[in-house]
Structures are given as C-alpha cells and as structure tokens.
Homo-oligomer: A and B are copies of this chain.
Amino acid sequence: MESQFVDWVLATIGTDSRLEVPAGDDAAVLRPPAMRRTVLTVDMLTEGIDFLLGPKCSARAVGHKALAVSLSDLAAMGSKPEAALVAVCLPTRDGAAIGRGLLEGLQALAEKYNVIIAGGDTNAWDGPLVISVTAVGSVSPGSAWRRDGAKPGDLLLVTGALGGSLLGRHLAVEPRCHEAMFIAERLSVHAAIDISDGFSLDLSRMMAASNSGAIIRLADIPIHDDAVRSSKLAGDTRTPLEHALTDGEDFELILAMPPDAAHNLIALVGTAPISIPITIIGEVTQGAGLVAIGIDGTSAPLKPQGFLHVFDPPSP
C-alpha cells in the first residue's frame, strides 16, 4: 500500500549499499551482515497518549522519539542498528506539515546512528497522529543481551540519570546505541533491559525473567535534575528518588554484569563513546523480588512501580 507520501519520503532519502532493492518497491531487500543474527522490534506512538502535538512537542520531535524508542530496544539487546520501517497515520488537517516534521526528526536520528529508512506506509484520516517504527538490528550469534541471563553475584549498573523525563526528555530520547555497541564488543554483559516504563518496574521484569532478585542501594541511584525539578512542582508529592525509581521513559539501560566486567566498564566511563555516567547501583541475588537498602542502611522490599498499559487479558 504505497502512497504519495511514501513516494515523497523516498525521494528525499538516499540509497544505501546495504540495500539490494531500495525502498519504493513492494518491499525493501536488505543484505544482512555476514554471520550476524537479525534483531527485530516495533513500537507504536499515538497522539494523546505518548505525546501531545503543540508548542512543546513538534512533529519533528515525534519523528525523533518514534525512531529513538525502537533504537533503544536495539541498544538493550547489545545490537547494531541497521534499518527502520515507518508506518504513519497522518491527520488530514496539517498532514503535509506534520509529515515533513516527522521525516526531519526521523532522518536526523537515522543519520546519527547510520540507520537505513528502508520503507514505510502512510495513511491519512480525521484522527490523531499515529506512528509505528520497526527497527532492524544485527548482533553476533549467541551474543544478544537477553533479559533472562542475570546471575546471582552480578553487579547491576544503569546508564545516565533517572526520573522526571516528562519535563521533556521523554521526547528528546537519546538511545544508548553507541554505548551498547562499545560495551558489547569489549565486556561481558549477562542481561540488559531499557527503562521504558520505570526503573523499578523494568528492573523487576529483568529479575523475574532471570529467576533472580536484586539488592539496590538507594544512595547510589543516579537522580536526574529533572527528577528534582519535578518534585518541586506544585501538587507533586514525590521525592526526587521516588521519581527516579518509578518515572517511565528514561530510556536508559540497566545492565547485569560479572563484577570484573562491571568495574572495567566503570573505568572506561569518560572514554569515547561513553560520555554519560554509568553507575553501579546494586547486585543480583538468589531468590525473588527487589530489596532496597536505604541511606541509613536499613533494608526494605522495593515495590516495582511504573507505567502499566491497561489491558485485561480475556478469559480463555
């Protein structure tokens, strides 16, 4: 279901030697890198849920975010981005301007991470903007960072700083692709996940998949300035730490690594491309559940909290 919009998009993007048949045919044909696995993920963003078009959120920002969140999933697998496919439903009002903005945001980020925009599909309707981006990556056989590989004794690390993304970072997502590729080439990572729904919630998912628990030292959680600012907003009753533990859309990585590898990684922070902080925040334990060690040394269960998509699974 090609469209004039797709034709126009394709006319504005270049070709790439990785494509045997470029976008614009019924499908694109990609030369997969030799001796690599193919990594596949998709995310859909909808106006009114994931963003509100307006003075604080341009169509360009939406294009950026839509690709960035899928690239973040590729980073969380320790994989290299290769290609993306973009499906959109444009509001008929302002469809052309929105389409142009989306493409600008998509293209700028695709260039930064050397991602081919390999195709897409466009619809238009009298409704909100919807955009779905499929990202395709590559990884060496057996080396993808799964979420179920954490082992008791592994140290837990987090990239960047957490909390308060709703103040704007939830749009200006910077996927940790360069950092992930750099780490994947050099160091052992047993498990990884990206923080989309909230640190404690996504950590609990990684631990549950790994049949393990975790101890988290709250004093070591890297708290973003946005978390501090959020806690000062009128009506906000949460501390900066609570924001860091439960706010969604940080799109930072949580890694479980053997202690030697973790310390070697910390020693590399500041070396290109690791220009962001990386912090050891706890360790993997036997048993289930999360335990938080407070600043006073006391320990208590840490309840996984974050953003849960509302859905009631049907009865069988």
* Contact of A236 with B by CB under 8 A: no
Among A69, A92, A127, chain B packs the most CB atoms within 10 A around the CB of A127
Of the A-B pairs whose beta carbons lie under 8 Å apart in the complex, a sample of 29, sorted by A's number, is A3-B309, A4-B308, A8-B311, A21-B144, A21-B146, A26-B77, A27-B73, A28-B41, A29-B40, A29-B77, A29-B144, A31-B38, A32-B32, A40-B85, A41-B85, A42-B85, A42-B86, A43-B87, A43-B121, A46-B125, A49-B123, A49-B125, A50-B123, A89-B130, A95-B310, A99-B311, A122-B311, A124-B309, A134-B134
- C-alpha gap A208/B129 in the complex (Å): 32
**Given that A144-B20, A308-B4 are contacting pairs, would A77 and B27 also be in contact in the complex, using a CB cutoff of 8 Å?**
yes
- Cβ of A1 within 8 Å of any chain B Cβ, yes or no, is yes
Q: Quick check: A25 and B77 within 8 Å, CB to CB?
A: yes
Residue with the greatest number of chain B CB neighbours at <10 A, chosen from A2, A4, A5, A31: A2
Asked whether A142 is an interface residue with its Cβ less than 8 Å from the other chain, the reply is yes
Flag whether A217 is at the interface (Cβ < 8 A): no
Whether A134 contacts B44 in the complex (CB less than 8 A), given A27-B79, A127-B127, A311-B95, comes out as no
- Contact flags (1/0) for A290-309 with B, using CB distance below 8 Å? 00000000000000000011
Can you tell how many copies of this chain the complex includes?
2
Q: Is the CB of A123 within 8 A of B193?
A: no
Contact across chains for B20 and A311 when beta carbons are under 8 A apart: no
Instruction: Give residues of chain A (1-48) contacting chain B, Cβ–Cβ below 8 Å.
Output: 1-5, 8, 20-21, 25-32, 36-46, 48
Quick one: CB contact mask for A88-112 with B, threshold 8 Å, 1 for yes? 1110100111011000000000000
Which residues of chain B are within 8 angstroms of A258 by Cβ–Cβ distance?
Answer: none
B87 touches A42 (CB 8 A): yes
Closest Cβ–Cβ distance, residue A16 to chain B (whole Å): 13
A128 interface hit (Cβ, 8 Å): yes
